[in-house]
Amino acid sequence: MKKQHVLNCMFSAWYPQFKHVSIKSKVLPCPKDFHDYLMSDGSLVLPQSDTDDSSDDENVGENNEREARVPHFPEFNSKVKDTIEELGGNVFPKLNWSSPRDATWIAFNGSLKCSCPNDVYLLLKSSDYVTHDLTKPFSGCADDGQDSIEVQYELVLRKWRNVIEGMEFRVFVRNRNIIGISQRHYTNHYPHIDKMKVEIQQEIEDFFKEHIQQTFPDDNFIMDVYRRKEECILVIDFNPFGESTDPLLYSWEELHASNDVPVAVPLAEDGDACLGIAQCGLLRYVKSSLGILPNPMHMHRMPQDFLDLRSGADVNKLVDFLQMERQSQDKNSGNKNK
């Protein structure tokens, strides 16, 4: 895997070509002040709202102190707000490569569904995946450390869809051939996959041959797709073919050894097969509840900051969290009064 392979999987690199078979999205280049905000260490403070009013004399001192440390990028904030409205009022956020799916613990609705700019900022600021995008997007690349590349960071807002997780799949492509397909959310058992496995594989193969096989710039890559309905496949994302991408129900040892030949079906005596992981043709999936694997997101559910808040060990974090919640409530209250 090389840096160019990572760059080819950046959202703005592939979306214009494949937007007709993907989810409607908008890309907003990140200005320096917003980038600096995401990169900054310290307390989790939401940006100043466009509607913040600090005219009360008795609050002047408090507000002046708060404004001294609250980030403020009104022009970008306005663009984010307008884009959310343009996309129907609810969006799914991500940065160049990663979504903040490890940060749903902090969202008030427990999901990545965002209805206002502060929802977006809260998730991005709390995500280790987003931090990885910002600090070491090329880690693991064979040419990492050679010619430096200045990445133009971008905020991606995607129209919110109520996706059925059991219809998401990860497709592994080597030498422009599919060598394997995995159930995307492998921490759950979806009985319908076993019943529809032949149709699912055929539709993904047909979609790949028609739209992707000869058009994506790399020979080796990984593609996430969503089977919205029968004979309707949408591209969710592209990922580099390398260890930085989760192989899900496969292993990288299998994928690297496969060349352009489909990964072999697990033998009956293999541990995985005995635990309820099955394979039909190219598609590997969880066939029974015995095949459910641990959810890697669990490690992100109780960050140290949250534990400090719960125990009261860090008073400053508690104050910042309460201030953040007040900002969100003030914003929601302002919208209701309009």
- pLDDT tens digits, 34-47: 999 999 875 567 77
Pick from 250, 235, 160, 176: which is nearest to 204 by CA?
235
DSSP E strands in 119-250: the ranges are 154-159, 168-174, 177-183, 221-229, 232-240
Burial of 57 (0-12, 13-18, 19+ CB in 10 A): exposed
Given the structure tokens 């002047």, which residue do they identify? Answer: 60
**Are the C-beta atoms of residues 237 and 247 closer than 8 Å to each other?**
no
Is residue 158 within 8 Å of 94, Cβ to Cβ?
yes
Q: Count the Cβ atoms, other than its own, within 10 Å of residue 132.
A: 16
Residue 284, strand partner residues: 182, 279
Indicate if the pLDDT at residue 52 is higher than 90: no
Distance CA 64, CA 57 (A): 11
Write down the pLDDT at residue 266: 56
CATH architecture for the domain at 165-297: 2-Layer Sandwich (3.30)
Q: pLDDT band at residue 270, thresholds of 50, 70 and 90?
A: very low
pLDDT of residue 55 exceeding 90, the answer is no
Which sequence spans correspond to the domains of the chain?
13-48+71-161, 165-297
* pLDDT one-digit tens code per residue, 110-132: 899 999 999 999 999 999 999 99
Q: Which helix (H) or strand (E) holds 289?
A: none
**pTM confidence score:** 0.81
Summarize pLDDT for 148-187 with one digit per residue, the tens.
Answer: 889 999 999 999 999 999 999 999 999 999 999 999 999 8
Which of the four pLDDT bands, split at 50, 70 and 90, describes residue 271?
very low
**CA-CA distances (angstroms) from residue 178 to 5, 18, 128, 214, 286?**
17, 18, 30, 12, 20
